[in-house]
Structure 1
Amino acid sequence: MQRVTNCILLNEGHILLLKKPSRGWYAIPGGKMEQGETIKESVTREFREETALELEDPKLMGAFTFNVYSNKELLQEWMMFTFICDTFKGELAEVCREGELVWVPQDQVHTLPMAEGDRSIYKHALHSKGMLYGSFDYTDQYSLIEMRLDPSGY
């Protein structure tokens, strides 16, 4: 099982997103955990590597499992830990090897192309203070099959 961390960075009514070239989808900056890292060490390192920004006191806001299927065969399984933060140091990188870094107004995030489950994660992050736990099942073409969220309502 792959483990990944990412962080929703809020700043002056905007969210920093990463536009991935492969699908043109927007995602939360982050990446794979390394052996022996805590999830907080991982999110801080991954965010810095992708954006050149140093997160200050990111807070865990969600833990999720993702399964990708071809027909009924499990192809990939991973766990994602999503943080939220509103303070940082540094200047945004001009170039990111993972895609294009973009500050998007918070009220426009829901209109962007992205994995369907991510919409629920953003909605929770922007409108709730509690933790969100979830499980997402996708096809190998990343069409959402099913999602389960706790608390529900997202």
Structure 2
Amino acid sequence: MQRITNCIVIKDDHILLLQKPSRGWYAIPGGKMEQGETIQESVVREYWEETALTLANPRLAGVFTFSIFQHDELENEWMMFTFISDTYHGQLTEHCDEGELEWVPISRIHSLPMAEGDHKIFEHILHSESTVFGTFSYTNEMELIEYRMN
């Protein structure tokens, strides 16, 4: 099972998001954990690699599992650890190999193109102080089949 870390960084009622070129969907900057890293080490490294910003004291906000199915058969599975932070150091890079970085007003998050489950994750994380846990099932075309969050 692949492990992913990412971080929702909030500044002046905006969130830094990455628009990926493959689908044009927006995503939270982050990526794959490396062997031997803690999840906090991973999120700081991954966030810096994509944005050139160094996170300061990111707080774990959600833990999620994702299952991708093709005709009822499990095709892929991963776990994502989502952090939140309003403190960072450095200056945003002008170029990211993964896509276009953009500061998006929080009020626009619900209308952006992204995976349906990501909208649900934002709804919980942006309106709660407690860590949220969830599981999402998708088709291999990234259509949400079902989800649970608590």
Shorter-chain TM-score bucket reads over 0.9
Q: Which residue of 1 aligns with 2:147?
A: 147
Aligned equivalents of 1:65, 1:146: Cα separation in 2: 12
Q: Which residue of 2 aligns with 1:77?
A: 77
Q: Which residue of 1 aligns with 2:14?
A: 14
Aligned equivalents of 1:26, 1:137: Cα separation in 2: 19
TM-score by length of structure 2 reads 0.99
Q: Which residue of 2 aligns with 1:98?
A: 98
2:57 is the counterpart of 1:54: no
- 1:103 CA displacement: 0.2
Describe the SS at the equivalent of 1:127: coil
Write out the 4+ residue segments of structure 1 that deviate beyond 3 Å after TM superposition. Answer: none
- 1:143 CA displacement: 0.2
TM-score by length of structure 1 reads 0.97
Alignment: residue pair count: 150
Deviations 1:77-98 (A, max 9, x none): 0000000000111100100000
Letter in 1 for 2:17: L
- Unaligned residue ranges in structure 2 (runs of 5+): none
Aligned equivalents of 1:27, 1:95: Cα separation in 2: 16
Identical aligned pairs, as a percentage? 62
Aligned equivalents of 1:85, 1:124: Cα separation in 2: 15
Aligned equivalents of 2:16, 2:124: Cα separation in 1: 16
Please give the root-mean-square deviation of Cα atoms over the aligned residues, in Å: 0.4
2:11 is the counterpart of 1:3: no
- Unaligned residue ranges in structure 1 (runs of 5+): none
Deviations 1:41-99 (A, max 9, x none): 00000000000000000000000000000011111000000000001111001000000
